[in-house]
């Protein structure tokens, strides 16, 4: 399987993540991508390509123009306001307030985000743009005939809404890929999110649409991020009713249980008969992940890859979460090797 990777991921090197009331070293750090890349090379998974430049149009097919504009200028606006630290949202449009875009950078940070753990600093814009280019390059490979491709994206994307960042995500790479398939003539696309956390952004982007089926297996939002979306009664709206599936699991869930949900999702995908499949691949489902509570083991990712291959669909993998850096390379590449072996 070919991998797409950009060294520009390393421009995303914030020093802070708000966690438990303190600023910690971010879990979403450059060594995650470097470790996965080393494993891709060590396992001779396949050719490694740099991304092509696709510009802002494919991004704006998913994200609002004002949100993209905000992200491009956020850091310089923050500096111009004389702020001493990294850009962290601290005020939001609470219930009963007015959802309008303020002029002030503090107000705009809150307007365009849903969580405070995702700091912004110099280079975040460049890295997020490169991550979307990585995903679009993988999509182009698959649209061009490759059975599958691995978009080694960093920063991740599945929490990003059309005009909201959060959960370490800025551009929703999986959604951008799905929309690119649709814009190139695919009638139906499925997005399967196997990250530990609910793909709230992906769900929201396609919630009223029936051309893109969104499915997510994840930790109970009553207990974990993103807390305010991802419950099993969210099945789509209007035209999209019946085209969203959430499967929620408790602490300690092992592969034996999680894989039953995977099977349910795979059967739903098969019934939808998509022209392409996008897999939002987080491996924070791993038993040792520092911020999650499932109990998948490294070999389970081989089995996961094999099951996905059996769907028989052109497939783009977009890298999402996974924070046990020692294991992330083995776990992520196991999915690809399981897929390749079929
Ligand atoms: N306390 C913030 C947790 C953000 C979750 C990021 C993630 O892995 N999403 O898939
Ligand atoms: Zn996650």
159 is catalytic: yes
Output the CA 80–ligand 2 centroid distance in Å: 33
The contacts of residue 107 (CB under 8 Å, 6+ apart) are: 91, 101
Measured CA to CA, the distance from residue 29 to residue 236 in angstroms comes to 33
Read off the DSSP letter of residue 176. Answer: H
DSSP state of 189: E
Going by C-alpha positions, the residue among 27, 10, 28 that lies closest to residue 124 is: 10
CB atoms within 10 A of CB 23: 17
Other CB atoms within 10 A of residue 100 CB: 8
- Alpha-carbon distances of 294 from 27, 35, 92, 226, rounded to whole Å: 17, 22, 31, 16
Residue position matching structure tokens 């905000």: 70
Q: Ligand 1 pocket check: which of 159, 160, 279 to mutate, most ligand atoms within 8 Å of Cβ?
A: 159
Residue 50: per-residue pLDDT = 98
Query: How far is the C-alpha of 2 from the C-alpha of 13, rounded, in Å?
Result: 26
Q: Which atom of ligand 1 is nearest to the CA of 292?
A: 8
Closest ligand 1 atom number to CA of residue 195: 10
Q: Is the CB of residue 167 below 6 angstroms from any atom belonging to ligand 1?
A: yes
Distance, in Å, from the CA atom of 28 to the CA atom of 174, rounded to the nearest integer, reads 18
Candidate list 27, 158, 159, 197, residue with the active-site label: 159
Q: Which residues contact 185 (CB under 8 A, 6 or more apart)?
A: none
> Cα of 85 to ligand 1 centre, how many Å?
22
Joined tokens for residue 159: 């929490």
For residue 11, name the pLDDT band (cuts at 50, 70, 90): very high
177 by DSSP, 3-state: which?
Answer: helix
Quick one: what percent of the chain has pLDDT higher than 70?
Answer: 100
Mean pLDDT of 92-114: 98
Q: Contact 200/229 with Cβ under 8 angstroms?
A: yes
Does any ligand 1 atom lie closer than 6 A to the CB of residue 11?
no
The complex scores an ipTM of 0.99
Assess whether the C-beta atom of 289 lies below 6 angstroms from ligand 1: no
Cα–Cα distance measured from residue 102 to residue 77, given in angstroms and rounded to the nearest whole number: 13
Question: What pLDDT does residue 164 have?
Answer: 99
Cα–ligand 1 centroid distance for 187 (angstroms): 31
Confidence of residue 152 (pLDDT cuts 50, 70, 90): very high
Give backbone dihedrals phi and psi of 321, rounded to 5 degrees, phi first.
-95, -175
Tokens (6 digits) for 242: 């019946």
Structural tokens at position 42: 């060590």
Query: Which residue reads 């793909």 in tokens?
Result: 199
Which helix (H) or strand (E) is 335 found in, with range?
A: helix 325-341
- Give the model confidence (pLDDT) of 18-38 as tens digits: 999 999 999 999 999 999 999
Please report which confidence band the pLDDT of residue 201 belongs to, taking 50, 70 and 90 as the band edges.
very high
Counting ligands in written order, the one closest to the CA of 167 is 1
User: pLDDT per residue over 267-289, tens digit each?
Assistant: 999 999 999 999 999 999 999 99
* Pocket-testing residue among 22, 161, 168, ligand 1, by greatest number of atoms within 8 A of Cβ: 168
As given in the structure block, the two tokens for residue 270 are 């098969």
How confident is the model at residue 116, as a pLDDT? Answer: 98
């Amino acid at each position: 399987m070919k991998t797409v990777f950009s060294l520009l991921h390393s421009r995303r090197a914030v020093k802070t993540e708000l966690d438990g009331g303190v600023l910690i070293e971010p879990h979403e750090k450059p060594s995650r991508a470097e470790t996965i890349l080393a494993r891709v090379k060590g396992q001779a998974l396949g050719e490694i390509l740099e991304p092509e430049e696709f510009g802002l149009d494919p991004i704006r097919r998913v994200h609002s123009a004002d949100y993209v504009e905000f992200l491009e200028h956020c850091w310089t606006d923050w500096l111009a306001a004389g702020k001493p630290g990294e850009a962290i949202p601290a005020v939001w449009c609470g219930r009963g307030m007015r959802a309008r875009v303020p002029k002030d950078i503090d107000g705009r940070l809150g307007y365009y985000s849903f969580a405070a753990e995702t700091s912004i600093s110099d280079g975040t814009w460049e890295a997020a743009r490169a991550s979307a280019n990585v995903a679009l390059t993988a999509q182009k490979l698959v649209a061009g005939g490759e059975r599958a491709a691995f978009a080694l994206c960093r920063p991740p994307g599945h929490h990003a809404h059309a005009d909201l960042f959060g959960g370490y995500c800025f551009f929703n790479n999986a959604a951008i890929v799905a929309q690119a398939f649709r814009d190139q003539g695919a009638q139906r696309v499925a997005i399967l999110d196997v990250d530990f956390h609910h793909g709230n952004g992906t769900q929201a982007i396609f919630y009223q649409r029936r051309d893109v089926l969104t499915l997510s297996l994840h930790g109970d939002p009553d207990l974990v991020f993103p807390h305010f979306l991802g419950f099993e009664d969210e099945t789509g709206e209007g035209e999209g009713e019946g085209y969203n599936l959430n499967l929620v699991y408790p602490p300690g869930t092992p592969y034996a249980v999680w894989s039953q949900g995977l099977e349910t999702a795979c059967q739903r995908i098969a019934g939808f008969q998509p022209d392409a499949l996008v897999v939002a691949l987080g491996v924070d489902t791993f038993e040792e992940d520092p911020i999650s509570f499932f109990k998948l083991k490294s070999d389970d990712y081989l089995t996961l890859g094999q099951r996905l291959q059996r769907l028989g669909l052109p497939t783009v993998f977009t890298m999402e979460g996974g924070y046990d850096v020692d294991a992330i390379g083995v776990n992520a590449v196991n999915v690809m090797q399981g897929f390749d072996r079929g």
